[in-house]
């Protein structure tokens, strides 16, 4: 089986848990995902199966949309509700919607973000959370991220007894963005500790929450031999690129990794033969032609 499955990842499972479960359901080891979701986050998790694992990076490069909740008034070690409280401030009055929106706007566009200490980012071959759990110092890498928008979705709720305020948001962003870090950054902009208290990935790689399939349904469909109902062609991940139809003679050369002599129409081309996307080529300025970037399926006659 080859293709993309938009899975609904429930809370309480890691992305790796989902991959392992799907390997058993699909009876194949060639399963990968296109972007980790923390255990306490639910939503769209794209699984690439078989030859579609070769388009994972293209899915990861696509934008993502999240909705969630930020609580103003306390902060934790993990920047979400899984960690221990490390700071707290009793809010005497709520921030206005205008004040919150103003600070959210300051957190949009291209910016440098330092990932949370409790995250899966690797430094010298080890995950950051391994350093954190071992109480070992580590310099976290800086990352360039892009936040297209960060906006409120409804009126915030103020709890005068707890001295906390809950803000509800939607974020559109590029790969590598840690939403819980944006939540704490919003608190800093407002001058109070903050934490991400709920998060759902609504959209990823062109797939929305409504497109997803649960693990339970996936298992049922596998037993009924109806998996084609929820498996999408890997070309779904390549729609943003221009497609080029190969001739028979071009296909014979491309199968062996030959360069493609064609006019410069785009920086990347998806090469198509016999109705299937076969590979991705990129423009090489020096050679003035297209050269291989990712070979996907070079099977003759398929």
Classify residue 144 as exposed, middle or buried by CB count within 10 Å of its CB (0-12, 13-18, 19+): exposed
How many other C-beta atoms can be found within 10 angstroms of the C-beta atom of residue 137?
A: 5
User: Cα(242)–Cα(231) distance, rounded to whole angstroms?
Assistant: 23
- Locate 78 and state its tokens: 């993990």
- How far apart, in Å, are the Cα atoms of 151 and each of 65, 101, 148, 194, 225? 12, 6, 10, 16, 43
Catalytic option among 2, 17, 38, 235: 38
Of 195, 187, 170, nearest to 71 by C-alpha is: 195
Report the C-alpha gap between 178 and 195 in whole angstroms. Answer: 12
CB atoms within 10 A of CB 67: 18
105-to-81, 171, 261 alpha-carbon distances in Å: 24, 11, 46
Number of neighbours of residue 163 by Cβ within 10 angstroms:
17
Q: Is 267 a catalytic residue?
A: no
Q: Give the torsion sign (CA, 76, 170, 62, 186).
A: negative
Given the DSSP bridges, would you call strands 164-173 and 42-49 parallel, antiparallel or unpaired? unpaired
Q: Which residues are catalytic?
A: 38
């Amino acid at each position: 089986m080859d293709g993309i499955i938009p899975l609904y990842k429930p809370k309480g499972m890691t992305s790796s848990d989902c991959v392992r479960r799907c390997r058993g359901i699909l009876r194949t080891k060639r399963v990968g995902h296109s972007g980790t979701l923390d255990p306490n986050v639910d939503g769209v998790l794209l699984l690439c199966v078989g030859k579609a694992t070769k388009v994972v990076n293209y899915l990861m490069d696509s934008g993502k949309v999240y909705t969630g909740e930020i609580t103003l008034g306390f902060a934790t070690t993990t920047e979400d509700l899984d960690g221990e409280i490390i700071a707290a401030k009793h809010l005497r009055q709520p921030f206005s919607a205008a004040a919150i929106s103003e600070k959210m706007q300051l957190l949009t566009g291209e910016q440098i973000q330092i990932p949370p200490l409790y995250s899966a980012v690797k430094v010298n071959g080890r995950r950051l959370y391994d350093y954190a759990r071992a109480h070992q110092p580590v310099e976290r890498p800086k990352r360039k991220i892009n936040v297209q928008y960060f906006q409120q979705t409804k009126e915030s709720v103020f709890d005068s007894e707890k001295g906390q305020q809950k803000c509800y948001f939607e974020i559109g962003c590029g790969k590598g963005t840690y939403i819980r870090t944006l939540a704490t950054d919003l608190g800093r902009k407002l001058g109070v500790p903050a934490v991400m208290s709920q998060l759902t990935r609504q959209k990823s790689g062109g797939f929305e929450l409504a497109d997803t399939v649960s693990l339970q349904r996936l298992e049922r469909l596998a037993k009924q031999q109806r998996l084609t109902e929820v498996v999408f062609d890997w070309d779904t991940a390549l729609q943003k690129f221009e497609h080029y139809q190969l001739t028979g003679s071009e296909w014979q050369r491309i199968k062996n990794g030959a360069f493609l002599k064609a006019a410069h129409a785009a920086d990347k081309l998806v090469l198509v033969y016999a109705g299937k996307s076969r590979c991705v080529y990129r423009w090489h300025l020096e050679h003035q032609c297209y050269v291989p970037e990712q070979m996907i399926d070079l099977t003759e006659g398929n």
